[in-house]
Amino acid sequence: MKNISMLEEVLYHLNNWFVRDKKTFSKCEFTDGGLPEEVSEYVPQNVFFRLEGTYFNDGLHRNDGDETFNDETVEHLRVSILVIPKALLDLLEEIVAWDEKYHDIAVGPFFQERFGGYEYSLKGYSSYGDENSTATGWRLAFADRLNPFRKMYA
């Protein structure tokens, strides 16, 4: 999946990783660019999973054989199997398209310009209802559609 980094950003924003199962492995070795054997056996093919506890391989991945991992030995590797709803994956495609088109405008340094008698404002992109909010860009543009996936407490 080419948008896996954006998916990771969306899941982090939602505070919801859609964890189906979680397991800790002791003394795992990433060698020859592949997953440790015990992790490969644990994570079903083509399923998203999250690694924690590594120096070089932490983050969101998909067990599809397309990814190369950095070689390292990990004492306590936490692996979470994720079951991300199709509706969210479909929404991700829209978010990526929107972000490619409007990213520079939405998170740019200029939200309001005034010169002469003309005023230009992008305030709708810069705040989420009030001046103290930090939601910008795709987070604001897709807030209503992302909220049903949000997890309030970890």
For position 111, what pLDDT does the model report?
56
Q: What are phi and psi of 32, to 5 degrees?
A: 55, 30
Q: What is the mean predicted confidence (pLDDT) over 100-107?
A: 76
Model pTM?
0.81
Domain ranges of the chain: 19-82, 86-149
Record the tokens describing residue 20, joined without a space: 């189906």
Q: What are phi and psi of 6, to 5 degrees?
A: -70, -40
Q: Pick the residue with more confidence: 30 or 104?
A: 30
Q: What is the mean predicted confidence (pLDDT) over 109-121?
A: 67
Looking at the predicted structure, is the pLDDT value of residue 125 above 70? no
Looking at the predicted structure, is the pLDDT value of residue 142 above 90? yes
